[in-house]
Structure 1
Amino acid sequence: MTAARVEQPLADVLPSVTLITREDIDRSQAVSLADLLQGEAGFEFGRNGGPGTTTSFFLRGADSKNLVIMIDGVRAMADGWGNLSAIDLPLQQVERIELLRGNASGLYGEAAVGGVLNIFTRQLGGKPGGYGSVTLGNRNTQAVTAGYAGQQDDVSWRFDLGRDHTDGFSAMSPQQNAKVNPDNDSVDRTHLSGKVAKRISRDLTLGAYASLTRSDVAYDNGSGTATATDKNLLRRENGLLNVFAQGQLNADWNSRLDLSRTNLDMRDYRNDQAYRTSFDSGLLMGQQNSLRWFNTYAAGKSRVLNFGLDAGNETFSADATSSGYQAGRVLRGYFAGLNQAFGDLSVQANLRHDTVNVNKVDTSYKGSWDNTSGLLGLGYRLNPQWRLTGSVATGFRAPSAGELSNNINLKPETHLSQEVGLTYAEGAELFRVVAFDTRTSDAIYWQSVSPFTPVNIGKVRNQGVELTGKTQLADNNVRYTLVSQDPWNESDNTRLARRARLYGALDIWRQLGQTSAGFKLNASDNRYDSGSPDKLLPGYTTLALYASRPVAPEWTLRFKVENALDRPYQLAYGYNTPPLSVSLTLAWQQR
């Protein structure tokens, strides 16, 4: 685990974290990052339709802009409005995910106040061989993936590509909005990625990682001049190139340098013509150049230091031929951390200083903010199985370029988080209960009445208890989560939008001969879509059934029924979610 930015066994990690492995991903047969994470403690999401449509992640009840996604240690790009662009990441490319809950600005910088998703792409090396899969499902769902990975002498590599399509369903409910086109809203996605590394010497490895994802998502627009015959299409392209050098400077000092370039291109079409939207035009583009230097130094058997810097330059434009919206952000961060063990007592201390500059071309607005964030965590092992943990952390989020262009007077959000936990770990058994309290000052939210601008609303808080665990019961593997929380806007005295007071999941599977079979229950209490009682999202429970069986030494057959009870529910007011879905996958792994 790398939740503390150093390698640690899961049982020794102080922050509240969940590990999702490649085996978990294959067993779940999830079609998107959001569907994979649904039901995990601390994770909620809103989505404007099915997989592929606009999706908002909420970690620990924080706003969707208050989290960070890292891919192989490099910060994923957010668009000019602070929305994450990595939610389309194909799960085929992922080796493992670490879901870090709670304020981590002291480790990862600006906006990491709800938590961090650390995503690690599939490993390199091993005997050269291919892999792939073919999936068929109802609503004309089709997906094909293929890849090749291995190692020859000092060079290791992985290349993969894929394409998927579904006819989908109507993203919005015509019963709730008469302007909605009731036709099916399809999703098409094409993706490819490659990673290569060469070992130059015993102490130095050079490598590169590149990926490109393109999605065509049909959607419903029920606002403004929309009509029941309109066809709307959002085309997204995400490209990433990262080159890195990883080396061992001496027996105790490991260092890694990353240089990356990310491109984001979003084109919005109405009836096959680009049209004006909330982005000010039918085109939104972004580029991010970033540098990361990260070091760990083992100062003895029980002390590990980490230190380094992050630098980034981002530019955004809403129209390639117009200067109507052009903005940029420059980010600089310097950090240091200590993980120290004193017998049964563990200490984690992190300190980070960030500078964020935001400006807009041809206008007078600009913003510049400096902030120092920190985290202090303690752990005490009561015995080999039981451990007490606690932490306090501060953090911040600067206004995005888009937010600041609508309100030049915006101030950064500031956050204070505290948590205390109790963990039991022995063999396959894991139990963790955490009580947390997060408080935000100068929270940035968009007004729901004219003028529709972002404002600093004052204070927001979330208090609650998270329960996570896994066990074996009568040859069954059991994973469970349960969260009780109170996400509250103290300024308006309303519950925070799209966040439930109670939610959780139960996942049980077992081996029946060569067949692995199980089910997963996800459940959530009701939520308000915009903090208003007239837009209530009722509570829901969904059931998924899944099974897999090897049919030959290199072939595995997987079967899944999603929303098996065919229960209608909503994650955003007026937007439908997938009805009963059936899929069959044939996977191949060359040995």
Structure 2
Amino acid sequence: MFKKSALSLAVLAAASFNASANQDIERITVTANKFEQPIENTLASVSVIDRVQIEKLNIRDIPSLLNTLPGVDVVRNGGFGQTTSVFVRGASIKHTLVLVDGVRVSDSNSGNVSFTNIPVNSIERIEVVKGARAAIYGSDAVSGVINIITREAQVNEIALTSGSNNYVEVQAAGRVKAGKLRLSYNLGYQETDGYDVIEKDPSLPRGKNHDRDGYENQNIGFNLGYDFEEFGELTALAQYSEGNAEYDSSWGNDEYEFENYTAKIAWQKRSQDLTQDASVSVSQEENTQFGNTDPSIYSTEREEFEYRARYRIRESLQGVAGVSHLSEDVSKSTAKFTQSDRDNTAIFAGAFYDDSKWLANIAVRSDDYDYHGRANTYTTSFGVKPHKNVAFRFNHGTAFRAPTLNNAFVADSPWYEPNIDIKPEEAENNELGLTVTSTWGRYDVAIFENRITNLISNKLDPDTSKYVAYNVDKATMKGVELSAQFDAFGFNHSANLTLLDAKDNSTNVSKDLPRRPSKAFNYTLTKQWENLDVNLTMLYRSDRPSIDFYSTKLSAYTLFNLSANYQLLDGIELNARVENLTDKENFTAGAGFTSDNSRLLGYKPLGRQVYVGAKVEF
């Protein structure tokens, strides 16, 4: 693996010598440590997708956006509104903390996140911070953090898009400012007839699942801020979305409705050396399943308070400390629990040193979850800049994931028994990285290793014939990420390669974790003319094992996507996107077998999709 990585890095470096020496590399600012820093100073691997990139690529949903990033792989069970698995450095999504404006949005029982139901029209940018971040963010930040920052439009605009499978999208965004008051808003409507997402056995008669699986989403959000000057700035943010989707199920329900929201009130006060932040947030993730059986409700409600103080001890050294309190409630779910809510109180502190050449971060945190005890985590990072454009980094950290209420307190379930002694999962992460940023482009290489122990796995109890959660599994994920952005031959090039070795170490003989490709390569070629830009993206995924039940390999595949934007008139832009340009047949997850067990049936890919639209600014 590492020989291949060295070769790939050499190829990317060689390409850079053809880059334009006049390229102006943008200095990117991110919030990986919960305050704004240049991306080179965070001492972490951070990938950013901003609004400009979203609109250039004309991507319709978050899974497609994330799938272009190094270290991230997406497994789709169909199209819009269908289940999507996101792996960050080989870890499942339950080991990645997902936030919308800093507010947790996962289902607290399964750990899943309904990425397809978060509308792209509401997003300003996405920051993906990789590595153990629990000392900064708390539970679930085992392999990283995905922070979705909502839109803060600078102009008023309306956009219309139409496409394959009767796809229709209408979105609007805008900004109002009066003195010290500012208001940004976004709203949208998205609908498609969809397609039949699961490949069917041709030898069997047609049934209820031989149909299109449609999707609908309507959403609205706002970002309100007022600057009180000496008393600080007060902001209020909210996002709301609701809709429904159909899916294929051989038994039971085959349609769901969702109603999700996040809301946050935040205060920030800056003085010469002290910055204080306080916030109160609420959120809901609710999904109701319909079909042939009684409706099933999966609901998570959260409330959180956080206070942070950051003090500049001297020009090169800052200290941070704070406290947070999180409440989770699943009582609106159909499932029954002996305990349906819990609290977590955390205290944290950290120090950040940066004298332009030497950098060091240290953070410690202690979380006290009801019923599960205390979890203590830390992160230590060191870096050096031997040149203003070259930065080495090393970080080491620990992380944990709290058990779900379902693991410990499920009641009256036909499938599961509770385990009140279940413990948090634990992890240890190491990373060594190098970033080169200059007029030749931006290049990054990261070597990482993540070990997760006390993994929670459901085991069948022979006495009750039900599944019980135990801390019995462990896994190791290690690999290399390489990425490069540069201009050459009149084109802009963006490429990243991930080499991954993800192992299940639960038994004496380790085996590859299912559905994780060992090689993933993404490449985007962009050409800009006066009024036209064209973007061609290639995504390659190597073959990978399916889950044990299917006992087979999923084939490698390469997909091409094409997008274009044309400035017709001042304030009027036309756009288009073709997904799966070559109409490549592939599937990334199994769905069953033919009746004679001769062939694996899978979730169908999106196939070739065409979208065209227009945007008007005013």
TM-score (norm 2): 0.87
| CA offsets 1:277-335 (integer angstroms, 9 cap, x no match) | xxxxx112221111122232222221122222221111103646x85676122122211
Give the AA of the match of 2:441: E
Counterpart selection for 2:229 from 201, 206, 226: 201
- What runs of 5+ residues in structure 1 fail to find an aligned partner? 276-281, 358-366
> Could you say if the C-alpha distance between residues 29 and 199 of structure 1 is closer, same or farther in structure 2, counting changes exceeding 3 Å?
same
8 Å Cα contact 1:80/1:401 also seen in 2: yes
Give the AA of the match of 1:302: S
| CA offsets 1:395-450 (integer angstroms, 9 cap, x no match) | 11111112223441422111011111121111461111111111111112345996
> Could you say if the C-alpha distance between residues 177 and 268 of structure 1 is closer, same or farther in structure 2, counting changes exceeding 3 Å?
farther
8 Å Cα contact 1:535/1:573 also seen in 2: no
| Correspondence list, 1:101-500, <5 A | 101-123=130-152, 129-175=155-201, 181-222=209-250, 225=251, 232-248=254-270, 250-271=271-292, 274-275=294-295, 282-317=296-331, 319=333, 323=336, 327-342=340-355, 344-357=357-370, 367-404=371-408, 405=410, 406-408=417-419, 409-427=421-439, 429-447=441-459, 451-492=466-507, 493-500=510-517
8 Å Cα contact 1:76/1:86 also seen in 2: no
| Correspondence list, 1:41-60, <5 A | 41-60=70-89
8 Å Cα contact 2:157/2:615 also seen in 1: yes
- Structure with bigger RCO (C-alpha 8 Å, 6+ apart): 2
| CA offsets 1:363-403 (integer angstroms, 9 cap, x no match) | xxxx3221111111111112222221111111111111122
1:501 matches 2:523:
no
Looking at structure 2, the residues matched to 319 and 339 of structure 1 have their Cα atoms a distance apart, in angstroms, of 42
8 Å Cα contact 2:103/2:262 also seen in 1: no
Looking at structure 2, the residues matched to 528 and 63 of structure 1 have their Cα atoms a distance apart, in angstroms, of 15
8 Å Cα contact 2:495/2:524 also seen in 1: yes
> Could you say if the C-alpha distance between residues 9 and 529 of structure 1 is closer, same or farther in structure 2, counting changes exceeding 3 Å?
same
Looking at structure 1, the residues matched to 440 and 309 of structure 2 have their Cα atoms a distance apart, in angstroms, of 32
Looking at structure 2, the residues matched to 466 and 515 of structure 1 have their Cα atoms a distance apart, in angstroms, of 32
Looking at structure 2, the residues matched to 148 and 512 of structure 1 have their Cα atoms a distance apart, in angstroms, of 27
Matched residue SS, 1:83: coil
TM-score (norm 1): 0.90
Looking at structure 1, the residues matched to 203 and 274 of structure 2 have their Cα atoms a distance apart, in angstroms, of 60
Deviation at 1:45, TM superposition (A): 2.3
Deviation at 1:74, TM superposition (A): 3.1
Matched residue SS, 1:30: coil
Q: Counterpart of 1:512?
A: 529
Looking at structure 2, the residues matched to 142 and 566 of structure 1 have their Cα atoms a distance apart, in angstroms, of 21
Q: Counterpart of 2:42?
A: 13
Matched residue SS, 1:34: helix
Deviation at 1:46, TM superposition (A): 2.4
The more displaced of 285-294 and 70-79 is: 70-79
Deviation at 1:453, TM superposition (A): 4.0
8 Å Cα contact 1:156/1:196 also seen in 2: yes
> Could you say if the C-alpha distance between residues 369 and 569 of structure 1 is closer, same or farther in structure 2, counting changes exceeding 3 Å?
farther
8 Å Cα contact 2:80/2:194 also seen in 1: no
Give the AA of the match of 1:33: I
8 Å Cα contact 2:278/2:306 also seen in 1: yes
Q: Counterpart of 1:363?
A: none
> Could you say if the C-alpha distance between residues 177 and 465 of structure 1 is closer, same or farther in structure 2, counting changes exceeding 3 Å?
farther
Give the AA of the match of 2:351: L
Looking at structure 1, the residues matched to 617 and 52 of structure 2 have their Cα atoms a distance apart, in angstroms, of 13
The more displaced of 43-52 and 478-487 is: 43-52
Q: How many residue pairs align between the two structures?
A: 563
8 Å Cα contact 2:105/2:284 also seen in 1: no
Q: Counterpart of 2:599?
A: none
1:23 matches 2:52:
yes
> Could you say if the C-alpha distance between residues 343 and 211 of structure 1 is closer, same or farther in structure 2, counting changes exceeding 3 Å?
closer
Structure 1 runs (4+) greater than 6 angstroms displaced: none
8 Å Cα contact 1:33/1:89 also seen in 2: yes
Looking at structure 2, the residues matched to 255 and 70 of structure 1 have their Cα atoms a distance apart, in angstroms, of 21
> Could you say if the C-alpha distance between residues 148 and 423 of structure 1 is closer, same or farther in structure 2, counting changes exceeding 3 Å?
closer
Matched residue SS, 2:65: helix
| CA offsets 1:76-106 (integer angstroms, 9 cap, x no match) | 3433322235652212121111111111111
- What runs of 5+ residues in structure 2 fail to find an aligned partner? 1-29, 411-416, 592-602
> Could you say if the C-alpha distance between residues 446 and 473 of structure 1 is closer, same or farther in structure 2, counting changes exceeding 3 Å?
farther
Looking at structure 2, the residues matched to 290 and 234 of structure 1 have their Cα atoms a distance apart, in angstroms, of 28
Looking at structure 2, the residues matched to 577 and 310 of structure 1 have their Cα atoms a distance apart, in angstroms, of 42
Q: Counterpart of 1:75?
A: 104
Looking at structure 1, the residues matched to 60 and 338 of structure 2 have their Cα atoms a distance apart, in angstroms, of 34
8 Å Cα contact 1:369/1:398 also seen in 2: no
Matched residue SS, 2:272: coil
Looking at structure 2, the residues matched to 45 and 59 of structure 1 have their Cα atoms a distance apart, in angstroms, of 9
Looking at structure 2, the residues matched to 49 and 182 of structure 1 have their Cα atoms a distance apart, in angstroms, of 14
Q: Counterpart of 1:278?
A: none
Looking at structure 1, the residues matched to 146 and 97 of structure 2 have their Cα atoms a distance apart, in angstroms, of 6
Looking at structure 1, the residues matched to 361 and 348 of structure 2 have their Cα atoms a distance apart, in angstroms, of 14
Looking at structure 1, the residues matched to 84 and 493 of structure 2 have their Cα atoms a distance apart, in angstroms, of 29
Looking at structure 1, the residues matched to 356 and 78 of structure 2 have their Cα atoms a distance apart, in angstroms, of 51
8 Å Cα contact 1:407/1:455 also seen in 2: no
Matched residue SS, 2:533: strand
8 Å Cα contact 1:77/1:262 also seen in 2: no
Looking at structure 1, the residues matched to 147 and 96 of structure 2 have their Cα atoms a distance apart, in angstroms, of 11
| CA offsets 1:134-181 (integer angstroms, 9 cap, x no match) | 000011000001122121111100122111111111121113996771
Q: Percent identity between the aligned chains?
A: 23
